[in-house]
Chain A
């Protein structure tokens, strides 16, 4: 078991191996994710009952909670990948760490926007500087920082190191986001779904939410794989296998000036 894991880890370190194998994983994530999203969205928006207090406006939860959860999970993945890259000098880990950042940032923006849209009819305000909302905004800025470091530093090795260190340090914010609603007085309510307790939500509202959450994670996997493949092609552009792959799959010769395909 341990040996198999070790072999998998060493294989993952090979950009070519990942490039060849990942194309087979993508469709699975895409179709399972799409099915889950179709069920979750249709059930959540059309069939789940309205909330006794909020009416129909609660339905934004089917986008808000998955995107908020994913923005935090993606951050942890980005930081772990960065740590693996820094400690074990694994090229592929840096690639994954880099490509997750814009996706996570997108999720954080979605969580903040849908939260504001929900907040106006429910609380009576778009935004309030409470601990939960502010720490989520900090998460978005951390993502911006990681993206900016990758883009600002010309040298790839330096950029990888700097961005990974920022990503790792930023993980301190994750428990702050999670426990903000317990440590301080906030306008945001405490968690409805926890791993340890029964959800404080009716099952006919909760099951579609689980579907959209899992659907988001599957789509996230598709997106990460696609971006990783592009990044691998770019970073390995001088190797023989990439040259061969590109010449087989494209009629035209790639122009060296453009960072195309990203």
Chain B
């Protein structure tokens, strides 16, 4: 390569890597602020501030949704596989809200450790499939669970054979096993 061209290339690459390192440091420093929500694990570890507007996210625990008979108040637990947080919400839930589905709630922790939400957003996962396939998969799971005498393998699954991996807070966990 012509020495002058080589020099120009080196200068540009040097500049790029310098700025790249600066951005990487900045991103690492700001990690807490870039994360959209706290996971139940963070909240249990006391990383999340109380009485301050924050977001919490996780999978809605199967069978944990309790609705008030006379108002819109609803209470449910979210889990990241390791810990649970109880969320209380007074309002209309998004259409995609259901047990086993990921959600992100905006609100604040009260003294009892209950997360009082003012907004609940549904988190969609990366799986797309027609309803018939979903039914067939669920049925296959139930049959398998019946055969194995193991009721823990009934939740949603990735298209194909593997159980679903939900990505929460950078660490994937296996929803079927309830996390390790």
Using a CB–CB distance below 8 Å, which chain A residues touch chain B?
49-54, 58, 61, 83, 86-88, 121-125, 128-131, 165, 168-169, 171-172, 176, 181-187, 189-192, 198-202, 204-206
One of B23, B120, B127 near A124 (C-beta < 8 A): B120
A88-B5, A169-B15 given; A201·B127 CB < 8 A: yes
Q: Which 9 A-B pairs have the closest CB atoms?
A: A49-B130, A124-B94, A52-B134, A130-B36, A201-B128, A52-B131, A185-B35, A192-B126, A202-B129
Q: Which residues of B contact A123 (CB under 8 A)?
A: 94, 96, 121-124
A189 touches B124 (CB 8 A): yes
A122 touches B127 (CB 8 A): no
Main secondary structure of the interface of B (DSSP, over half): mixed
A51 touches B129 (CB 8 A): yes
A124-B94, A171-B16 given; A184·B34 CB < 8 A: yes
> A139 to chain B: closest CB distance in Å?
14
Residue of B nearest to A88 (CB): B5
A50 touches B130 (CB 8 A): yes
B96 touches A184 (CB 8 A): no
One of B15, B133, B170 near A52 (C-beta < 8 A): B133
> B147 to chain A: closest CB distance in Å?
24
Number of A-B contacts (CB under 8 A): 131
Q: Which residues of B contact A54 (CB under 8 A)?
A: 96, 124, 128
The verdict on B148 contacting chain A, using a C-beta distance below 8 Å, is no
Q: Give the docked Cα–Cα distance between A124 and B5 (Å).
A: 52
Q: Which residues of B contact A88 (CB under 8 A)?
A: 5
A50-B131, A185-B35, A200-B158 given; A191·B19 CB < 8 A: no
Q: Which residues of A contact B120 (CB under 8 A)?
A: 124
B167 touches A182 (CB 8 A): yes
